[in-house]
Structure 1
């Protein structure tokens, strides 16, 4: 598990929108804007059972999350990880309400669809980095390789 730096935790604590990338069954990417938070050392987000992202993650637990500063798109955070737990029931509903409080200021998530079942998803980060400007080439790749 990668440790989340204080700077990355500050980005997660803010009500910033993140892009979640998952892998479709055919190997193509699927990207969704998400509300996220942190619980201990895990990233947490919420969705409904049956959504594409939920089905993708049950098949392939790898995720990538990215977020950019809206005032400076060259300032960004990227987190890679894997899903380690799916939680349904009351805990998932409470998680969704906590995210709604953080992001829109309401005590409850007001956009529930009748009959939907929420699922809280916990991600173990395997790599997290804050990048400002252009990323350097990886070792062995680039003009001086």
Structure 2
């Protein structure tokens, strides 16, 4: 078995890793072709990465023009501890307003565990007026867990 295959996570491990993390690096494509890279809090929608952002944000404008994205979730400080999942895909805009707010609630819960849903709902409904949401339909998933090298 080659080293790449040795460090790859199983589908269940990828799912657990994505469920346990809160932030990702989101790359979209600027009009001039350069990458636009930002850190985003995210949630999961039927197992797929979901995020929301302001309707006028650069990433939103980029996605409306070209929906291709890369999403990197990583952990570990030392080389032997590095773990990560890189999801390539297409960001599909969620049009249903209730679904947009549901994504917002999922993200808010992950960001602030233990906070009462009613408090979160007030925040989500307020900030959600200016936000749009996306779900990432994966085209390729790459993973690694360097802890397997020892």
| CA root-mean-square deviation | 2.5
Write out aligned runs for 1:6-85 (5 A).
6-72=12-78, 74-85=82-93
- Counterpart Cα distance in 1 of 2:59 and 2:96: 15
> Which residue matches 2:135?
122
Instruction: Choose which of 118, 131, 143 in structure 1 pairs with 2:144.
Output: 131
- Counterpart Cα distance in 2 of 1:113 and 1:36: 18
- Counterpart Cα distance in 1 of 2:99 and 2:124: 18
Question: Larger deviation: 50-59 or 84-93?
Answer: 84-93
TM-score (normalised: structure 2) = 0.73
Aligned CA distance change for structure 1 residues 11 and 72 (closer, same or farther; 3 Å): farther
SS of 2:109's partner is helix
Aligned CA distance change for structure 1 residues 83 and 130 (closer, same or farther; 3 Å): same
Runs of 4+ in structure 1 off by over 6 angstroms are: 111-115
> How many residues are aligned here?
130
SS of 2:101's partner is helix
Structure 1 portions without partners, runs of 5+:
134-145
Of Structure 1 and Structure 2, the greater helix share is in 2
TM-score (normalised: structure 1) = 0.76
